[in-house]
Amino acid sequence: MNKERMTHLWRSARRRFQRAPKRSLALLVLAVLVFYSVSQGVYVVRAFEDRHWDVPAHVYAAPIELYVGLELDEETLAATLAQTGHQQVPVLERPGEFSATSGELEIWTRSFPFWDGEEPSRQLRITFDRQRIASIVDATGALVPLVRLEPLRVGSVFKAHHEDRVLIEPDAIPPSLIEALKAIEDRKFDRHHGLDFAAILRAAIVNLRHGEVRQGGSTLTQQLVKSYFLDGRRTFSRKFREAIMAVALELRYDKDVLLHAYVNEIYLGQQGTRAIHGFGLASEFYFAKPLDRLAAHEMALLVAIVKGPSFYDPRRQPERAIERRNWVLTTLAAQGVLHEDTANEAREEALGVTARAGMALRYQPAYLDLVRAQLGDDYSPEDLATQGLRVFTNLDVTIQANAERELALGLTRLAAMPGTDTPDPALSEAELSESAAEESPLEGAVVVSRPMTGDVVALVGGENAAPGDFNRALDAKRPVGSLIKPLVYLAALESGEYTLASPLRDEAIDVDMPDGTVWSPQNFSLESHGEVSFVRALAESYNQATVRLGLDVGVERVAALFERLGLDAVPAVYPALLLGAVELSPFEVTQLYNSLANGGDRVPLRAVRSVTDANGEALKRYPLRIRAAAEADAVYQLNQALVQAVDRGTGRSAHRWLPPNLVAAGKTGTSDDFKDSWFAGFTQDHLAVVWIGRDDNTTTGLTGSAGALTVWAPIVAGLPTTASFDPLLGDSLEPSWVDYESGLLTRRGCGDAVLLPVPPDANVPRRACGIGVTVRGWLEGLGDR
């Protein structure tokens, strides 16, 4: 072999050797890309199978029940129907509509699967007479004894990421929405396999020019992948991963499946920590009505928001939103999706979104906190967040709305009139808002229950509470002050040593404490009142008389009542407990007072009534659990003293708001340095507890009567049914006329006589009825005791 040949062979071998690492590297890179693509494809398909049907548990308010004789007028029912998503129309055409004429109302109800069976859809005519329902007939003219309307959905139980959605079934997706999405977001959706290369090329040129990701070019499938699995970072690596996942989904699933997932998954807004996903929920969130009821301009706005829910937020950025919506309408008309005349008319429409995000009557984050807590004993977080359960609660949307409004109005009133003992109830909301120089630093909480059942019908965790906000009704544990005094007096009545007529000493007292200090409680007025009646001491909230009584009965006996009446534990036993040196939440106070309002029977407060699966099959009912917690006759006597507290004691200013002749029982509470203002009170049907304070625990300058009472009374006055507190008198008690100041037995009309229950065998002295007795009072009192 000659030298040239050898040289040629050597050079060829060297070139092959030099190229080998490059080929190997290329093959290695290719293998890595193939492995990465396959692994990402497997991952996305599995994750999609696991997640794309996840639906959080939907939580519903108590259904509205209509029946002949119900105290309800036409205007109130029409307003309630509008609040619950029904549309008022001139002529009924489909379910979910109603029309109102003078003296009657027509409804086309929606069918709904309740826990005890399906409520059918039907057309009804309701007539009214004297503020009551006079008749209910169906389309055939047959009388209908009872109608349950579809309950209002008030929220969902999410996973940790707080995603909420209303699942829209494939056959319920409006065709106009599908056509609009394709026209605006992905014109080649029906032809591509996950990627639109022309759009990607256009975006790539823009992005390379700027050295960063500025434009997407994403298909609907890529948007679905991003919403499901990826974060919002705009990087080349994330876009590459998004493309691989999109192709994998397109290879595995039909287009209809992907569109269905997109409609239910895409992110469309935010309310606090609550993420609004899917067009079904977005329709309710922005327009307070179902997706299939949207007009052309409303549907176009939802499609417009897809591009940037924050940037085009119609409540925060209405100019941007309307410009984007009108561009969508123009594009739809240009592509033949929408008729030109319809698009022109739609462009002239206002945005039409509701004033408040989340629709105050439709989403109740504070109440949902209670629902979650009570469901936690029976269901795992995973089941609640993924199985589409239906949770039926006791929330009364009318009472809830009233409580929210009166708390907000009351806080504004108090901020506008600092230091005023009883703000003027005649001031309008607008006048009060104008008089407040800035947003009130005061906060508040409200809980309303039905004592006999323990149903929590309303719960307000703070003014304008949003998802994720601190829930003061459940979690704000604050000193309760005099609100706890009824437990001291109940312990005394249960002992058998005291009656409402018993004399108590309201005099200075020094209590030796274990640490060697001396506790010398004072009355609010800094004055002592000498010997007073038992009923007066409680009604007028005398501290010194209360401490003397509590020490005589025993602080341990008082402390034990906390647990007996419904709390989880007995508080620390020390003398200051007698004047409310214990921290409780408004919900815990409600549990204590609920047992008092229920005559001494303890009924655990409950938010949840029943739970069904996604198909309407009942899973669990939450029946009443009731047990005796305190002696009935002792509680009866105590409650009559609390009636006097509202009539003539520290709660007397409530009658500026309450209906005439309404009998209510209640008690004020004020913590040290006026940091907390409380009122708890009840009628025959409802109990309401109100707390007002500041989150930084600084002084409010408000007593219980100057603050919380001015919110409590309007709430009670606005209840749909308000019956006077009128419990049954026990056999071991006898109504007797007692002198309010001294506790001596007397006659009606004699001095300051009040009718109170007293054990017939009680050794109560009688006072002589002399000076100051009118002839009429003397005649009325003949024979009375």
Active-site annotation, residues = 185, 482
The answer to whether 717 and 733 have CB atoms below 8 angstroms apart is: no
Q: How many residues does the chain have?
A: 785
Give 416's Cβ-side CA count (13 Å radius). Answer: 20
Closest CA to 351 of 291, 286, 396, 401: 286
CA dihedral over 97, 100, 105, 106, signed as positive or negative: negative
Helices 709-717 and 397-416, interaxial angle, to 10°? 140
Helices 340-347 and 318-334, interaxial angle, to 10°? 170
65 forms beta bridges with: 148
How many distinct helices (H) and strands (E) make up the chain?
Answer: 24, 32
| C-alpha dist (Å) from residue 732 to 226, 633, 744 | 72, 7, 20
Q: What is the DSSP letter of 638?
A: H
* Residue 328 burial (C-beta neighbours within 10 Å; 0-12, 13-18, 19+): buried
Cβ neighbours around 660 below 10 Å, total: 5
Q: Which residues contact 575 (CB under 8 A, 6 or more apart)?
A: 511, 513, 519, 547, 550, 551, 555
Angle made by CA atoms 562, 571, 671, in degrees to the nearest 5: 90
Question: Rounded to an integer, what distance in angstroms lies between the CA atom of residue 466 and that of residue 488?
Answer: 38
> Tokens in use for 249?
């989904």
Question: Rounded to an integer, what distance in angstroms lies between the CA atom of residue 321 and that of residue 307?
Answer: 11
| C-alpha dist (Å) from residue 692 to 406, 461, 479, 584, 711 | 13, 11, 12, 13, 9
* Residue at token pair 């099959």: 617
The answer to whether 681 and 716 have CB atoms below 8 angstroms apart is: yes
> Tokens in use for 154?
């008030």
* Residue 779 burial (C-beta neighbours within 10 Å; 0-12, 13-18, 19+): exposed
Q: Which residues contact 85 (CB under 8 A, 6 or more apart)?
A: 96, 150, 152, 284, 288, 289, 290, 362
* Residue 237 burial (C-beta neighbours within 10 Å; 0-12, 13-18, 19+): exposed
Question: Rounded to an integer, what distance in angstroms lies between the CA atom of residue 268 and that of residue 668?
Answer: 46
